[in-house]
Amino acid sequence: MWQGFLQIGLTLLILVAITPFLGRYITRVFLQQKTLLDPIIKPVERVIYGLGGVRAKEEMTDWQYVQAVLYSNLVMGIFVFLIFMFQGILPLNPTNLSAPSWDLALHTAISFTTNTNQQHYSGETTFSYASQMLALGFLMFTSAATGLAVGIAFIRGLTGRPLGNFYVDLTVSITRILLPISIVGAVLLLIAGVPETLNGPVSAITLEGATQYIARGPVAHFEIIKQLGENGGGFFGINSAHPFENPNAFTNLIEIIAMVCIPAALIYTYGVFANNTKQALLLFWMVFIIFVILVGISAVGEYQGNPLVNSILGAEEPNLEGKEVRFGWAETALWAVLTTGTMCGAVNGMHDSLMPTGEFSTLFNLFLQIIWGGQGTGTAYLFIYLILTVFLTGLMVGRTPEFLGRKIEKREIVLASVILLVHPIFVLIPSAITLAFPNTLAGITNPGFHGISQVVYEYASASANNGSGFEGLQDATPWWNLTTSISLLAGRYIPIIALLLLADSMAHKQPVPETAGTLRTDSLLFTSITAGVILILGVLTFFPVLALGPIAEAFKIASGQ
């Protein structure tokens, strides 16, 4: 038992240690300060700007930034969709795979464009190497960079700066953050045993004398950006539970740290931008504590195992169903909570096999979207809760709501409300429609409370741009492909538009001098209130779903049924 919790503890210590260093580096990149990579990267960036006709020093307004995000993402999505549809005649297709169905190709293109990577297919039997590298791999960089750019633009606006230039932010996100770390990470994964080859599947003779075909491919470089960019879409169908994606404890550690390092560092980046690292550290530890509690709940549940199974065994054994024995219950529980907290969506075990406590934690993360949050946009959601907390506490104590010396008024509250309401609308409404037709639409493989969790999880994963799934759900149908596509698009772009409008509104406000009546937001008391607001809003919005899903399932198992 203690060995498992020690593994979790050491991983979290590494995260705490690297966060301020990466946070400061990200700040230097987006404040255009000197870095060690300048001699190598600056000439490359100048070529990119020249070829793209980008005026690097030109600032964008809020709507110009929004249009740049939407137009660029639309073009990239269409480009990738066409690659899928012409896959059969493109090179790098050693297994001669034909094009997928139009609805699956559309869902996959939208899913990867929105940095969700929700997969209704098995990678090694659906997409060629060209599709995996030139389409999916391409979007893993650009969609992650899009989210990071929007998150930085939001931070700029909050701290009174112009939003910046989207194309510059997109470029430096790739050239100075995602690509350098990915190169180092890919080399480490390659050394640790993750394959990187363009050769086709290899055949092997089994002990029974049968022929088995073992899929392989250019996995190492694909795997690291999958984790680092909060993408989560696996090269193989079983994702990071596959021994070629995640062969051992060392690769598991690299992939976990890659998954969480940027979202955690962005909180510190905000502190440097705002010249208030005290508030950033308070927010970091608030998120960290909530995260550790959820990990603890999940890990204890997996360690105690299923009481129904234990009664048959006559002993208490950990729940190892759906887990790789090379990782065990502890690393699987940590990964499950982390992948749904960071909006990565990669898995190293099947979430469908988690105990109800693990199901509760993963769903709770998908509902809140701020522990640790997605690539850039998740950090922005955290500050939306801060703005709401400022507004609520200001009303309660009779003080004018202010954040970073700027008044919070009707426009900001309306935009913040839109950001928080989009998610439940595009999770609960389609879930209700689907559950109304369990046989014809839902494709539920586990009836009862668990089946409810399966359906809600799928839409929550889509709207939160997470991409993980309970699995076991028969989701490779036109209904699931098209309805989740709507949740994917709404959950990504409506909040992005509102975030940029809100940031620009804050940037144009005149700073208000601090007085004795100013409500300070960098105190332990205010941070505690913020945590309470986050948890209360999450419970009020989604508690009925949690009660009908994992909570009810926990009571059912405890009763011996």
Check whether 440 has a pLDDT greater than 80: no
Query: Mean per-residue pLDDT for 151-169?
Result: 94
N-terminal to C-terminal alpha carbon distance within the chain: 27
Side chain identity, residue 262:
I
Chain centre to alpha carbon of residue 483: 20
- Higher pLDDT, residue 37 or 4: 37
* 157-166, 300-309, 389-398: segment of lowest average pLDDT: 389-398
366 band by pLDDT with thresholds 50, 70 and 90: very high
Does residue 456 register a pLDDT over 90?
yes
Exposure string over 359-393, b if 16+ CB within 10 A, otherwise e: bbbbbbbbbbbbbbbbbbbbbbbbbbbbbbbbbeb
Residue 397 has what pLDDT? Answer: 72
Structural domain boundaries in the chain: 2-558
Predicted confidence (pLDDT) at residue 15 exceeds the cutoff of 70: yes
Closest CA to 69 of 391, 377, 394, 302: 377
Burial 328-339, CB ≥16 within 10 A → b, else e: bbbbbbbbbbbb
DSSP state of 408: -
391 touches 420 (CB < 8 A) = no
Taking only the tens place, the pLDDT of each residue in 312-362 is 877 778 888 888 888 988 999 999 999 999 989 999 999 888 999 999 999
Q: Is residue 206 scored above 90 in pLDDT?
A: no
Between 11-15, 83-87, 521-525, the lowest mean confidence (pLDDT) is in 521-525
Q: What is the pLDDT of residue 561?
A: 63
Q: Are strands 406-407 and 211-214 parallel, antiparallel or unpaired?
A: unpaired
- Does 516 have pLDDT greater than 70? no
For residue 186, the model assigns a pLDDT of 96
Q: Each residue of 246-288: pLDDT tens digit?
A: 999 999 999 999 999 999 999 999 999 999 999 999 999 999 9
Helix-, strand-, coil-residue percentages of the chain, each rounded to 5: 65, 5, 30
The pLDDT of residue 376 is above 80: no
Phi-psi region of 160 (alpha: psi -120 to 50; beta: other; left: phi over 0): left
Q: What was the pLDDT predicted at 515?
A: 66
What is the chain's mean pLDDT, rounded?
Answer: 91
- The pLDDT score that the predictor gives to residue 306 is 83
φ, ψ for residue 355 (rounded to 5)?
-70, 160
Most confident stretch, 23-27, 37-41, 403-407:
23-27
pLDDT at 370 over 70: yes
Question: Is the pLDDT at 406 greater than 90, yes or no?
Answer: no
Query: What is the pLDDT, as a whole number, of residue 519?
Result: 73
Task: For residues 20-45, give the mean pLDDT.
Answer: 93
Q: Give the tens place of pLDDT for each residue, 527-536.
A: 999 999 998 8
**Whole-number pLDDT of residue 401:** 80
**Is the confidence at residue 34, as pLDDT, over 80?**
yes
Q: What is the pLDDT of residue 517?
A: 64
Residue 320: predicted pLDDT: 87
Enumerate residues 6+ apart whose C-beta is below 8 A from 110.
Answer: 77, 485, 488, 489
Model-wide pTM > 0.85: yes
Q: What pLDDT, on the 0 to 100 scale, is given for residue 64?
A: 96
Residue 400, pLDDT > 80, answer: no
Per residue in 61-98, pLDDT tens?
Answer: 999 999 999 999 999 999 999 999 999 999 999 989 99
Per-residue pLDDT at 191: 96
> Looking at the predicted structure, is the pLDDT value of residue 513 above 90?
no
Q: Over the stretch 98-130, which tens digit does the pLDDT of each residue have?
A: 999 999 999 999 999 999 999 999 989 999 999
- At residue 476 the predicted structure's pLDDT band, cuts being 50, 70 and 90, is confident
The token duo for 20 is 């301020």
The predicted structure's pLDDT at residue 127: 95
If pLDDT is split at 50, 70 and 90, which confidence band does 235 have?
very high
CB atoms near residue 33 (< 10 Å) = 11
pLDDT at 459 over 90: yes
pLDDT one-digit tens code per residue, 162-203: 999 999 999 999 999 999 999 999 999 999 999 999 999 998
pLDDT (average), residues 370-398: 84
Residue that wins the pLDDT comparison between 177 and 476: 177
What pLDDT score does 472 carry?
A: 74
* Per-residue model confidence (pLDDT) at position 4: 81
Mean pLDDT of 11-22: 95
Strand ranges in 291-442 using DSSP code E only, listed in sequence order: 402-403, 406-407
